[in-house]
Amino acid sequence: MSGDQDRVSQDVELERTRARYGLLAVVISNLAIAAVAVFGVWQLDGDTSVIIGVLTAAFTAVSSMTTAYLGIKAVSNTAKSIVSSAAAATHATTPHPAPTTSPTTPAPAAPTPPAQRAQ
């Protein structure tokens, strides 16, 4: 039993590490995008049409990266939950083999097809 608990604790710790570094990667990427956008706006010297384009692109990149991370994380958590509940259900029920019975009477013969009409 302790082997199962040890394995579960290792899986939980691995998942925490993955979540921590995945979130860290997203945050660092978002900060880098924001820094490049701020630098680009600073270099444009007030050209509003280009500034709007740069800020729109930066916002789109940040929001799509964050949404992708959260979506992938949610799907991963859901899949792990389904797998663990299915494994628990499999271990909880012990399958009983179906009784095998041999037929006492032979199977009936296939019926003969109707005769063909002559033309």
Q: How far apart are CA 21 and CA 15, in angstroms?
A: 10
**pLDDT band with cut points at 50, 70 and 90 for residue 119:** low
Q: What is the pLDDT of residue 117?
A: 79
Closest to 39 in 3D by CA, of 58, 66, 61:
58
Q: How far apart are CA 39 and CA 41, in angstroms?
A: 6
Q: Is residue 22 over pLDDT 70? A: yes
Alpha-helix runs per DSSP H in the chain: 2-43, 48-92
Residue-averaged pLDDT of the chain: 84
Q: Is residue 14 over pLDDT 80? A: yes
Tokens of 39: 């630098």
Q: In which residue are the tokens 């979506």 written?
A: 71
pTM here is 0.63
Q: Are 7 and 47 in contact (CB under 8 A)?
A: no
Q: Are 69 and 23 in contact (CB under 8 A)?
A: yes
The residue type found at 7 is R
Q: How far is CA 30 from the centre of its chain?
A: 23
What are 65-95's pLDDT values in tens digits?
999 999 999 998 888 888 888 877 777 665 5
- Cβ-based neighbours of 44, under 8 Å, separated by 6 or more: 50, 51, 54
